[in-house]
Structure 1
Amino acid sequence: MPYANSSAVREFYLVGFPTEPSTQLLLFFLVLTNYLITLSGNTVIICITLSDHRLQSPMYFFLRNFSFAEIWFTTVTVPKLLAGFLWGSHTISFVGCMTQCYFYFLLGATEFLLLGVMSFDRYQAVCNPLRYPALMTRNQACIQMLVGSWLGGFLSVLFPTILITRLSFCRSNVINHFFCDSGPLLELSCSDTSFIELMDFFLSAVVIICSLTVTLFSYMFIISAVMHISSTTGRAKAFNTCASHLTIISISCSISIFIYVTPSQKETLEVHKVPATIVCPFLNPFIFTLKNDTVKQALKDVLRQYKVLVTQKAWGSLQKKRPI
């Protein structure tokens, strides 16, 4: 496939969500609010798990890195979408488009692999509680699995992206999406894209199925171990530690299987314009805080300390203002 796109297409036009100006402004505020909540919520999770001594286990080490990936996963696409709503900036350079496409799928694949790693961590915590600290030390197994997740995401996206950059885009430069998704890009090419579509389907399926397989086997053993716990409170506590993770992976896999694991994406481009890229990052902080008692208690302690500091500062200012 010749490298012909640089002479044919130098920039792309992102269709986004063509609506009336008043609706564009409403969408801008909705997406901006969602984005700010996503950033602040995941940042809070990172800060809490770094600062609180109760959240120094491998479970929260992976959660912290997952939240870090979620922040960048959203940032890859949403700022450009907001610029389009506010200033009508719908064009993106060829290099910028390829970069956005690569990092979007890199971060998405890495998140799925991290979810599988988090399943394995829960398996070790529930099924091997005595050996868990030795098996999942941060300096060894945790970092190795974290690096493996990022490396797997990097390699699974690299080759298809290289092939996309070498396609000839001579039909049009209008992308029927709000970011540079691979499906709409392939639709614009006048080259034969069947091999790349098949590769996209295969690699997407491999990443998702690998994550799901690890998760299914981990939870099979977890359920078996929990069923042998005689105490009802003990069983509830064991399941509670897994509830947040199960919720996130269910939502993520459902969305991604529906959108990306299809043999051909050309027939369903309009469905793919649903902004799934901001759904899971937005829900992640709420799911991992509302369903986790330790995180909720850590947040309450931080808020209590903040309230005490504010009260002390206000009292100190009042004392200084009093006449001697």
Structure 2
Amino acid sequence: MNQLLVSKFLLLGLSRQPQQQQPLFLLFLFMYLATVLRNLLIILAIGTESRLHTPMYFLCNLSFVDVCFSSTTVPKVLANHILRSQAISFFGCLTQLYFLCVFADMDNFLLAVMAYDRFVAICHPLYYTTKMTCQLCIGLVTGLWVIANLNGLLYTLITARLSFCADNAIPHFFCDVIPLLKLSCSDTHLNEMMILSEGALIMVTLFVCILASYIQITCAVLRAPSTRGRWKAFSTCGSHLAVVCLFYGTIISLYFNSSSSHSSGKDMAAAVMYTVVTPMLNPFIYSLRNKDIKGALRKVVTRKSLSTQ
């Protein structure tokens, strides 16, 4: 039986040092605004350029997910700083955990799907339009959204069954599953097994698929006669892999290590990297270096400037 005795939690934030809180607030505000602005510009550019709808469909979804992913955690951090409050209700904590799981899963899924999309485009260019059809893209993303929501609901429900008896202070800036498990006064064995089995299975499978796609892309690029084309492809794939390794590396170090290896400082740094930094980098790495996206953005800016004259 759930013996819940706490109705709210206290998010202790990134730092308990008063002199560090204002700089951290400004840093988070800047990164959040940069994330939202860049991703919304990409969504606008793809939405207004009809020829980009299908080939950039996954990028558009990634931009939407990145905005939602950052919005799950950062606005609460900023609001707590402004209101001088650390409180979050039990229901609000579970809601934050649910959406965090959903958008983290969607980021994982989309990175894997985009790697496969690049594999088909580079290794089988003649079959790209027949393989990656509009119907397939929509069906694939719809299915991934369903799986992500079911997975998020599963994690939320097994966390809701836990008992929290006394301590309600979370040494974190959002309601993450690891700090909640540490606070619980009930048996968390099922939760830990779910993270290490179902969670690890998804992460490892997706990471292997991404690596396999980029290995095939690398082999295809090495066969290209143009040195300039090879360098451009390696540059693009290298930046993609860098973001993928950053995203997966921080998540793996955070959720799939033994409990004894966890420390609040390292966990917080890893959480900042995958919830704030990666969504901010994704638009530049995946989209703003793409000439079609840059061309569409220029058209959007030109239309805006002409309409204001």
Q: TM-score, normalised by structure 2?
A: 0.90
Change in Cα spacing, 1:265 to 1:193, as seen in structure 2 (3 Å) is farther
1:229-266 per-residue CA deviation (whole Å, 9 max, x = no partner) reads 22334434544554553332122112212222224377
- Matched to 2:125, the amino acid is P
CA 1:146/1:240 → structure 2, altered by over 3 Å: closer, same or farther? farther
Whether 2:68 is the aligned partner of 1:69: answer no
Cα distance change on mapping 1:236 and 1:55 into 2, 3 Å: farther
The corresponding residue for 2:267 is: 272
2:7 maps to 1:10: yes
The answer as to whether partners of 1:122 and 1:242 remain within 8 angstroms in 2 is: no
Return the alpha-carbon distance in structure 1 between the equivalents of residues 195 and 232 of structure 2: 40
Partner secondary structure for residue 131 of structure 1: helix
C-alpha separation in 1, matches of 2:229 and 2:262: 49
Residue in structure 2 matching 1:232, options 221, 227, 236: 227
The whole-number CA distance in structure 2 between the counterparts of 1:69 and 1:307 is 29
Aligned to 1:197: 192
- Asked whether 1:122 is paired with 2:121, we answer no
- Could you tell me which residue of structure 2 aligns to residue 291 of structure 1? 289
Structure 2: give runs of 5+ residues left out of the alignment: none
Aligned to 1:56: 53
Aligned to 2:213: 218
Counterpart pick for 1:187 among 182, 188, 193? 182
Aligned residue in 2 for 1:28: 25
The 2-side partners of 1:28 and 1:186 are apart by: 27
Distance 1:209 1:101 in 2: 22
Q: CA RMSD in A?
A: 2.2
Question: What's the offset of the Cα at 1:23?
Answer: 3.3
Preserved contact between residue 28 and residue 86 of structure 1 (Cα < 8 Å): no
In the alignment, residue 14 of structure 1 is paired with which amino acid? L
Q: Note closer, same or farther for the CA distance 1:289–1:219 as it changes in structure 2 (3 Å cut).
A: closer
C-alpha contact 2:59 2:287 (8 A) present in aligned 1: no
Query: Which of 242, 247, 250 matches 1:247?
Result: 242
Of the two, which has the highest radius of gyration?
Answer: 1
Cα contact 1:244–1:291 (8 A) shared by 2 = no
Contact 1:48 1:298 in 2 (8 A): yes
User: How far 1:204 sits from its partner (Å)?
Assistant: 2.8
Write the letter of the residue equivalent to 2:262: E
Amino acid at match of 1:3: N
Distance 1:47 1:305 in 2: 12
User: Do residues 146 (structure 1) and 146 (structure 2) align?
Assistant: no
Contact persistence 1:16–1:177 (CA under 8 A): yes
Does residue 47 of the first structure (1) align with residue 44 of the second (2)? yes
Work out whether 1:208 is the aligned partner of 2:203. yes
Q: How does 1:88-127 map to 2 (within 5 A)?
A: 88-127=84-123
Match of 1:322 in 2: none
**Aligned positions, number:** 306
- 8 Å Cα contact 2:32-2:70 kept in structure 1: yes
The CA distance in 2 between the partners of 1:265 and 1:205, in whole Å, is 18
CA displacement at 1:19 relative to structure 2:
3.5
Aligned position for 2:133 = 137
Q: Give how far 1:15 is off.
A: 0.9
- Please say if residues 69 and 107 of structure 1, whose CA atoms lie closer than 8 Å, have aligned partners that are also in contact: yes
Match among 76, 82, 98 for residue 80 of structure 1: 76
Write out per-residue CA displacement over residues 141-178 of structure 1, whole angstroms, 9 at most, x where no aligned residue.
Answer: 11122123222322333323211101111131111111
